[in-house]
Amino acid sequence: MRMALPALICATLLSTGPAWAGSAEVVYEHPERYTDIGPQRDAESVQKILTSQLQELAATRLPAGQTLQLVITDIDLAGEIPPASRHLHDVRVMGRLPDWPRITLRFSLQEGGRALAEGSETVSDMAYLMRSTSAGGSGALPYEQRMLSDWFDHRFGKLVRR
């Protein structure tokens, strides 16, 4: 009985917060024209990673019933692939200027058929090498994941957390 009461209190406190279960729909417009999505053989993988990141952000940071519609119009990944290394896998050189990550997109945050926010912008992180990637992502595309996480919080944080 003594264990049941604290568990019940914890369950009640957790259930009283907002329901975070928004969604994201991501479309890649003319990816063959992107500035730098990596080697063509990796383009689909990059799109899957970014889509997964954006869907995760929406699911954990948008209230239920809100949908973020995104159209990605350009991607320029962090770093660059030197011409001499084009035949090697996974070789990117970081630190040359300008080589920071950039993603150009259009967005519309919808709820119940009405737009809460919409616009277009270029999301970038010029200081990508000066900050830790542990907060925004790990594994593949950590700089882009952190950049998108920061953008998401900046762009939608005040709108959705009423």
Digitized pLDDT (tens) for each residue of the chain, 162 residues in all? 455 544 444 444 444 445 668 999 999 999 999 988 887 788 999 999 999 999 999 999 999 999 999 999 999 998 876 655 555 555 555 556 568 899 999 999 999 989 999 999 999 988 877 876 665 455 789 999 999 999 999 998 855 544
How far apart, in whole angstroms, are the C-alpha atoms of residue 9 and residue 12?
A: 5
Instruction: Give residues with Cβ within 8 angstroms of 116, minimum separation 6.
Output: 66, 109, 110, 159, 160
